[in-house]
């Protein structure tokens, strides 16, 4: 299965002649997505919004783009403004009945609630609910007394009402060949970008971002800023400089990543100054086994998403790279430590203007 997935990903982003044979299936997929979209727009006109405002952080491509770190940063920013947020998610990889909602606890298992919600539980201190039907998770958040819901993914889950849509895209990969599944990586056509409220390009450099259909002040650059390295057991923490000084040139690093774009993680390690990296890439949401790791005491580095599935293993020399999302407005190119908070204030003011959040946000 992993081999098939890798083959399609390489074909979508590098081009392959045989993808043309799949275009009739992509056209059919497009008909279905447009029908679902029209049904959603019709329901918006005829039905009231959710009682609690919902911000969706999603994408239109297959694979990870860095949504969860942005969700975590927005949670912290809204909490700083005195708002009580909650996070809802599908809980991909967990077997949850369609009529059930699960709250993610600190002692939950990734196979029960999904690896990304479990990762978020370690990053934020707010209620997190997972359900195949995300509207049920939103209702659970409202019952918990939460004032705002941030949906980690779910841009195409039209049964869930939403107030603001944020689309996150991988600037390195872009939109591939711009075809819909299965001939390309798109869940929805490129024209969908015209209808979202904000677009965030996740990139590791300052190269020009691809052109898009939104006003410039609604387009943001986003990158993952390395905060520190934490041992997998949580007993130690090293600054990036200290970690690189200790392990940067003398050790072979076994780097593990089961995310949408593992190469982005490996490149970030090299960008920090680490050398002699042996890459171990797995499919997104891979369920690790102890056998995936060497029996010796090799130095292991992994992502926060991988860590929630590997803490059960006795890995004596394993470290986790902890990161946070940093935003830069593509129009002003202004970046500072509180810019993501200013972005959250902007979201808040939109909700306040529509009378969805009546109180005044601090920092306005």
DSSP 237-292: EEEHHHHHHHHTTTS-EEEEE-SS-HHHHHHHHHHTT--SEEEEE--TT----GGG
Tens of pLDDT along 108-135? 999 999 999 999 999 999 999 999 999 9
Q: Distance between CA 79 and CA 74 in Å, rounded?
A: 8
Is the confidence at residue 96, as pLDDT, over 60?
Answer: yes
Q: Can you give 340-360 as a three-state secondary structure string?
A: HHHHHHHHHHHHHHCCCCCCC
Q: What is the CA radius of gyration of the chain?
A: 20
pLDDT band at 228 (very low <50, low <70, confident <90, very high): very high
Alpha-helical regions (H) of the chain:
2-14, 23-46, 67-80, 110-113, 115-123, 134-143, 240-247, 262-271, 304-310, 339-353
91-105 average pLDDT score: 95
- Residues recorded for the chain: 364
Its pTM surpasses 0.95: no
Share of the chain above pLDDT 90, in %: 72
Is the confidence at residue 310, as pLDDT, over 60?
Answer: yes
Contacts with 92 (C-beta within 8 Å, 6 or more apart), sequence order: 114, 115, 116, 153, 285
Q: Are strands 253-257 and 237-239 parallel, antiparallel or unpaired?
A: unpaired
Q: Distance between CA 164 and CA 266 in Å, rounded?
A: 32
CB neighbours of residue 116 within 10 Å: 30
52-81 average pLDDT score: 94
Is the confidence at residue 45, as pLDDT, over 80?
Answer: no
Higher pLDDT, 38 or 306: 306
pLDDT of residue 339: 44
pLDDT of residue 47: 58
Question: How far is the CA of 257 from the CAs of 71, 149, 232, 281, in angstroms?
Answer: 20, 29, 14, 5
Considering only 22-26, 125-129, 283-287, 305-309, which range has the smallest mean pLDDT?
A: 283-287
Higher pLDDT, 357 or 17: 17
Q: Distance between CA 53 and CA 106 in Å, rounded?
A: 26
pLDDT of residue 140: 97
Mean pLDDT for all residues in the chain: 89
The tokens for 259 are 């995310």
pLDDT band at 286 (very low <50, low <70, confident <90, very high): very high
Share of the chain above pLDDT 70, in %: 91
DSSP state of 87: E
Tens of pLDDT along 337-352? 444 468 999 999 999 9
Is the confidence at residue 289, as pLDDT, over 90?
Answer: yes
8-18 average pLDDT score: 91
**Distance in angstroms between the alpha carbons of the first and the last residue of the chain:** 49
pLDDT of residue 16: 93
Let me know: does 107 contact 362? Beta carbons within 8 Å: no
Domains and their CATH numbers in the chain: 49-173+191-222+327-353 (3.40.50.300), 224-324 (no CATH)
Q: Distance between CA 340 and CA 193 in Å, rounded?
A: 21
pLDDT of residue 203: 86
Q: Distance between CA 66 and CA 75 in Å, rounded?
A: 15
Phi, then psi, of 234 in degrees rounded to 5 = 75, 5
Is the confidence at residue 364, as pLDDT, over 50?
Answer: no
pLDDT of residue 294: 83
């Amino acid at each position: 299965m992993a081999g098939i997935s890798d083959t399609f990903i390489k074909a979508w982003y590098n081009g392959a002649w045989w993808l043309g044979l799949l275009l009739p299936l992509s056209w059919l997929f497009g008909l279905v997505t447009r029908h679902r979209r029209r049904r959603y727009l019709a329901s918006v006109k005829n039905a009231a919004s959710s009682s609690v405002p919902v911000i969706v952080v999603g994408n239109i491509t297959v694979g990870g783009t860095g949504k969860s770190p942005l969700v975590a940063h927005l949670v912290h920013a809204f909490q700083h403004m005195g708002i009580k947020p909650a996070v809802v998610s599908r809980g991909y990889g967990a077997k949850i009945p369609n009529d059930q909602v699960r709250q993610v606890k600190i002692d939950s298992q990734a196979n029960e609630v999904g690896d990304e919600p479990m990762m978020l539980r370690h990053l934020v201190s707010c209620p997190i609910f997972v359900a195949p039907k995300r509207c049920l998770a939103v209702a659970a958040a409202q019952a918990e007394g939460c004032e705002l819901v941030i949906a980690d993914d779910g841009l195409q889950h039209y049964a869930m009402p939403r107030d603001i849509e944020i689309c996150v895209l991988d600037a390195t990969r872009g939109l591939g060949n711009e075809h819909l599944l299965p001939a390309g990586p798109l869940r929805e056509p490129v024209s969908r970008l015209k209808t979202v409220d904000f677009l965030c390009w996740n990139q590791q450099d300052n190269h020009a971002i691809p052109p898009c259909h939104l006003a410039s002040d609604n387009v943001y650059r986003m990158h993952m800023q390395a905060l520190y390295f934490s041992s997998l057991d949580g007993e130690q923490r090293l600054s990036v400089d200290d970690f690189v000084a200790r392990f940067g040139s003398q050790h072979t690093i076994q780097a593990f990543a089961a995310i949408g774009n593992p190469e982005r993680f490996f490149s970030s390690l090299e960008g920090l100054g680490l050398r002699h990296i042996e890459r171990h890439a797995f499919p997104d949401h891979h369920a690790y086994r102890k056998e995936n790791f060497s029996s010796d005491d090799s130095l292991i580095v992994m992502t926060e998403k991988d860590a929630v599935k590997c803490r059960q293993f006795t890995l004596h020399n394993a470290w986790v790279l902890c990161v946070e999302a940093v935003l830069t407005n593509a129009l002003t190119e202004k970046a500072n430590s509180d810019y993501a908070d200013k972005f959250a204030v902007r979201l808040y003011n939109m909700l306040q203007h529509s009378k969805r959040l009546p109180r005044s946000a601090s920092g306005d």
